């Protein structure tokens, strides 16, 4: 493949210039990536952000629910990293000039009280290590034209990570039935998507366990204090100028983000 550093620089430039670029698989036949190559590009993207003063504050799963896999045309789960500069407050209004073509998706979020290091992590271990669960909205913003990508392309692009917001409501992980947590996604008050926690691998705690076990293969783990997005429950909805997107979860309450007109 073309070296990881130059592919990372290409993606970081797209992000900085707020300009979508052709996907790596489409544009550069010499850059055909394996999944391992793609995670090496992702590592280089995140390392560049950290070198620039940003900080890793968590991790995210992607393409876990059938709804997301069908929406994006990729049917294998992926993971990426969340940084401090991606955080938004609940209700915050975003200036769309900072992003390319953002979409929003509802997620169940785990905030860890303990490190989670695989292999062999189970959903029960995830619940034991979790301080609380809360409602989340992820703003994804693929750096690729038309949100069109292969599995390897989207991994290289840190799985489209751009922003995320957490709701104020919190629950102890064993006080709620995560698979049964209903979620309603509204845009400007109108229902656009609905789901339950079971959309993510039957139980979002299973998805977080899978992530910890995936990371173990690369000598990495999830750290206490981190925020873990367990994967979009529904297809994403566009964050158009002047719109408000709100997710309401049973037992967890609401979280919303807005886009300035
Ligand atoms: C990739 C990111 C997937 C999720 O929750 O499924 C993701 C994308 O859809 O652009 O974050
Ligand atoms: Mg997501």
Among candidate residues 231, 234, 232, the one with its CA nearest the CA of residue 211:
231
What SS3 class is residue 228? strand
pLDDT 10s digits, 128-143: 999 999 999 999 999 9
Give the pLDDT band of residue 24 (cuts 50, 70, 90): confident
For atom 9 of ligand 1, which residue has the closest CA? 72
Helix extents (H) in 18-131 = 24-27, 35-51, 66-72, 123-129
Average the pLDDT over 61-68 and give the result: 96
**What atom in ligand 1 is closest to the CA of residue 105?**
5
Token pair listed for 192 = 């656009």
For atom 3 of ligand 1, which residue has the closest CA? 62
Least confident of 22-26, 92-96, 166-170, 232-236: 22-26
- Residues 102/15, Cβ–Cβ less than 8 Å: no
Among candidate residues 252, 112, 257, the one with its CA nearest the CA of residue 178:
252
E-state strands within the chain: 56-62, 78-83, 87-88, 93-94, 103-112, 130-140, 161-166, 182-187, 190-196, 227-229, 237-238, 244-249, 253-259
Give the pLDDT band of residue 29 (cuts 50, 70, 90): low
Among candidate residues 60, 64, 61, the one with its CA nearest the CA of residue 72:
64
CA 152 to chain centre: 16
**What atom in ligand 1 is closest to the CA of residue 72?**
9
Q: Ligand 1: distance of its center to the CA of 79 in Å?
A: 9
Of 70, 73, 159, the one to substitute when testing ligand 1's pocket (max ligand atoms within 8 A of C-beta) is: 159
For atom 10 of ligand 1, which residue has the closest CA? 160
Of 82, 236, 237, 247, the one to substitute when testing ligand 1's pocket (max ligand atoms within 8 A of C-beta) is: 236
For ligand 1, is residue 160 a contact (CB within 6 Å)?
yes
Mean pLDDT computed over every residue of the chain: 96
């Amino acid at each position: 493949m073309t070296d990881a550093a130059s592919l990372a620089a290409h993606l970081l430039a797209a992000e900085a210039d707020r300009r979508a670029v052709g996907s790596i698989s489409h544009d550069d036949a010499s850059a055909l990536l394996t999944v391992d190559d793609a995670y090496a590009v992702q590592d280089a993207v995140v390392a560049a952000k950290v070198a620039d003063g940003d900080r890793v504050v968590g991790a995210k799963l992607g393409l876990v629910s059938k709804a997301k896999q069908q929406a994006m045309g990729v049917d294998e789960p992926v993971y990426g990293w969340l940084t401090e500069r991606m955080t938004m407050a609940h209700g915050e209004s975003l200036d769309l000039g900072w992003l390319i073509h953002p979409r929003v998706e509802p997620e169940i979020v785990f905030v860890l009280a303990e490190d989670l290091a695989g292999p062999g992590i189970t959903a029960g271990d995830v619940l034991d290590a979790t301080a609380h669960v809360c409602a989340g909205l992820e703003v994804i913003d693929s750096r690729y034209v038309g949100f069109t990508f292969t599995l390897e392309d989207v991994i290289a692009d840190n799985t489209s990570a751009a922003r995320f917001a957490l709701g104020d409501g919190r629950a102890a992980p064993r006080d709620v039935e995560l698979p049964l947590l209903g979620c309603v996604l509204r845009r400007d008050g109108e229902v656009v998507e609905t789901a339950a926690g079971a959309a993510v691998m039957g139980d979002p705690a299973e998805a977080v366990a899978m992530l910890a076990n995936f990371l173990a293969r690369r000598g990495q783990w999830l750290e206490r204090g981190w925020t873990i997005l367990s994967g979009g429950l529904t297809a994403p909805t566009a964050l158009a100028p002047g719109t408000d997107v709100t997710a309401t979860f049973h037992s967890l309450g609401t979280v919303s983000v807005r886009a300035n007109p």
